[in-house]
Amino acid sequence: MVAIVYWIPFLITLFFACLGFLASLGFVLEGSFSVAIFTALIFILPVVILRIKKKTIYGWVVKRKFGLNSVGTSKSNMQTVLLPVEKGAIPLDQAGIIKFLDANNKLIGTIENFGSLIDIASIKVDFGIRVTNDFLVVERDEMAGESAGQQYEKIADAKKGDVFKYPYNLPEEFPKARTKKVESVNLSTVQTHNCAPKMQCDQCGGSGKCAVCDSRGYNRCGACDGSGKKEVRDGKYANGKVKYKKVACSKCHGSMRISCSSCNGSKKCCRCEGGGKVTCKKCNGTGLYQTYSSVHTSYEPKTRNMTYTAASEISHVLHATKNNIAFDDDLIEWKSSDQILFDKRNDAIKANKYIGVFLDNFVADAELEKNQRLGRVHTTFENVPVITIEYFFEDKEYTIYIVGGDYAAGGRNIVCFNKIPKQHVYKLNIFSKVISLITKSKRKIAFLYIASYMFNSDGLMNSQEQKLMELLGSHSDLNDTEWLELSETLKNEHTLDEISPHLRFVKNDLRAIVFAWQCVLQDKQIDEREVLAFNNLADFFRVDGVKLEKLKHKAEKIGKLNDAQLIKEYFNP
């Protein structure tokens, strides 16, 4: 999806550009030049907006999907580009890195042939770490407890003070949520007390009499309100009014009272059965009860996701990678606060040295409360490849990072940088590009004349130089007859004045100077006559000093490109 969204603005841009071109062309053919210009401007506006917004749209999609500020600026001013899965094979050597950067230059948003044209100063291959720590937290609270009888035996040498010194008795598996609290007794705090087995009945106050009926054995009938009779309907009078008559109450049967529901007529207290005493609540009739401190224990699972890399400015992007798991096991478990059951931290350090960053911060990472301690830590982590590339481009220093993920694990690479080259020193402005596009064929011929001028300056065009000449000719837009005729002309030595009419088509394009120096280097032998010809050409283009040296260095890099890359570098506007 991310790759598709990236190209949608480009396709829309192409549609508007073609539509504008066809509409403008129609008006030109009709002779309406002013209307043609106006129409072209109308269609150019959405093209410009879409080109500007292309990376913004892509960045929004990636941010929503992966939580990254892709092709944008993060809090650390680090720009991130999430590459599609098919682009995700991680390179580990310089040749692979150059190829990787060349293949992804458009997605990264940099110059063509980016990897081939930069000067790599250093490559550092390291592994960051993406960690998931599952904490099993023990929560304990000490409370006062009391129970009837003598069910606990005091142990004088039982542990006192810290309630976390008692064994944790952790569950074998991590619970999905906080467990219910389980009570356990601190045996060192148990105190046994004597108590009367019987206590005064709190319902009758010790009298033994039923308090509900006041020891009468009966109560007034509530159904008839103690009258013994109730009114019932007995037809109607002649005028239609309802007629009533009195009959005996169906509940008390006319006796006006009912048996007490509490004592059932016995007149005795139903709780103590008339004795005035009941079993003691404290001792449950045993004559003994115990007081003690009890510990209430529950277990709570917590999970924390963390990342680390030596390049701290890109640590925030590691969470979006996917890599092979390097460690997945219970790392450490405590039997109690002062006893460790097992500890595998050294094994984890062997799998990735950076896990050590998190080993001393468990308590802070788990965000424990005062009544909580760690019981067990289960750790899962991935080794995240991090390649740091320091390089120079046109005498400026840059750094770019290629961060995981492992292609075999279904991961994808994330490219990170603070700044990146966007253009060459010889980049054409928009007007020069338009002119170059119109004079494209003549520009190609100009490069052929430059090649002829340079190659023949030493009186001989060798096979390597001839090969480059033929490569340019095969992309010159000339038919076979035209190329055959021109090639014969190019075999002859020419002066700068003789080729200058052709050079006007590349007069503002400093790639001509870059190409001229590549011609000097083509046979890997620098001839003084070729150097002299090059300097004359540089004077013609009015380029000297530091700028000229930069262009010469550029030629050395472009000379290492393959044929397709070389043609594209010189012949594209």
The predicted-structure confidence for 286-318, as pLDDT tens digits, reads as follows: 889 888 888 899 999 999 999 999 998 998 888
User: What tokens were used for 362?
Assistant: 């468990």
Given this model, what pLDDT does residue 227 score?
Answer: 78
| C-beta atoms surrounding 414 within 10 Å | 26
Given this model, what pLDDT does residue 42 score?
Answer: 58
Instruction: Quickly tell me which residue has 């071109």 as its tokens.
Output: 21
Q: Is 492 helix (H, G, I), strand (E, B) or coil?
A: coil
**pLDDT for residue 61 is more than 60:** no
Q: Alpha-carbon distance 505 to 215, whole Å? A: 128
Given this model, what pLDDT does residue 205 score?
Answer: 82
Contact 166, 295 (CB under 8 A): yes
pLDDT confidence bin for 83, thresholds 50/70/90: confident
**pLDDT for residue 455 is more than 70:** yes
pLDDT confidence bin for 11, thresholds 50/70/90: low
**pLDDT for residue 38 is more than 80:** no
What are the start-end ranges of the E strands in 179-260? 182-194, 198-200, 218-220, 229-236, 242-248, 257-259
Burial track 525-545 (b if 16+ CB lie within 10 A, e otherwise): eeeeebeebbeebbebbebee
Write the Ramachandran bin of 217: left for phi over 0, alpha for psi from -120 to 50, otherwise beta.
left
What stretch of H or E contains 35?
Answer: helix 33-66
Q: Alpha-carbon distance 487 to 452, whole Å? A: 9
Which DSSP symbol is given to 457? G
Peptide bond preceding 265 in cis form (omega within 30 of 0): no
**pLDDT for residue 75 is more than 60:** no
Q: Is 141 helix (H, G, I), strand (E, B) or coil?
A: strand
Residue range 236-262, pLDDT digits in tens: 777 878 887 888 887 888 788 888 888
Which DSSP symbol is given to 228? S
Given this model, what pLDDT does residue 410 score?
Answer: 65
Q: Is 422 exposed, middle or buried (0-12, 13-18, 19+ CB in 10 A)?
A: exposed
- Of residues 235 and 130, the one with the higher pLDDT is 130
Cα 271 to chain centroid, rounded: 69
pLDDT confidence bin for 203, thresholds 50/70/90: confident
- The rounded percent of the chain whose pLDDT value lies above 90 is 35
- Of residues 9 and 181, the one with the higher pLDDT is 181
Contact 396, 124 (CB under 8 A): no
Mean pLDDT of 369-384: 94
Q: Is 504 exposed, middle or buried (0-12, 13-18, 19+ CB in 10 A)?
A: exposed
Contact 563, 474 (CB under 8 A): no
Mean pLDDT of 260-279: 84
Q: If we measure between CA atoms, which residue out of 418, 414, 384, 413 comes closest to residue 399?
A: 418
Q: Alpha-carbon distance 90 to 404, whole Å? A: 7
Q: Alpha-carbon distance 210 to 503, whole Å? A: 127
Which DSSP symbol is given to 189? E
**pLDDT for residue 26 is more than 70:** no
**pLDDT for residue 88 is more than 70:** no
CB-based contacts of 7: which residues, under 8 Å, 6+ apart?
A: none
Residues 161, 163, 165, 166: is their CA dihedral positive or negative?
positive
Given this model, what pLDDT does residue 62 score?
Answer: 46
Given this model, what pLDDT does residue 196 score?
Answer: 87
Burial track 455-481 (b if 16+ CB lie within 10 A, e otherwise): bbbbeebeeebeebbeebbebbebeee
- Of residues 127 and 40, the one with the higher pLDDT is 127
**pLDDT for residue 392 is more than 90:** yes
pLDDT confidence bin for 161, thresholds 50/70/90: low
Give me the chain's average pLDDT, please.
Answer: 83
Given this model, what pLDDT does residue 520 score?
Answer: 92
Q: If we measure between CA atoms, which residue out of 392, 491, 506, 498 comes closest to residue 445?
A: 506
Q: Alpha-carbon distance 203 to 67, whole Å? A: 69
What is the amino acid identity at position 315?
S
Given this model, what pLDDT does residue 552 score?
Answer: 92
Which DSSP symbol is given to 84? P
Q: Compute φ and ψ for 508, nearest 5 degrees.
A: -100, 10
Given this model, what pLDDT does residue 2 score?
Answer: 43
What is the amino acid identity at position 16?
F
Q: If we measure between CA atoms, which residue out of 392, 385, 410 comes closest to residue 91?
A: 385
CB-based contacts of 102: which residues, under 8 Å, 6+ apart?
A: 113, 114, 115, 116, 565
Q: If we measure between CA atoms, which residue out of 88, 18, 82, 5 comes closest to residue 46?
A: 18
**pLDDT for residue 346 is more than 90:** yes
Given this model, what pLDDT does residue 458 score?
Answer: 87
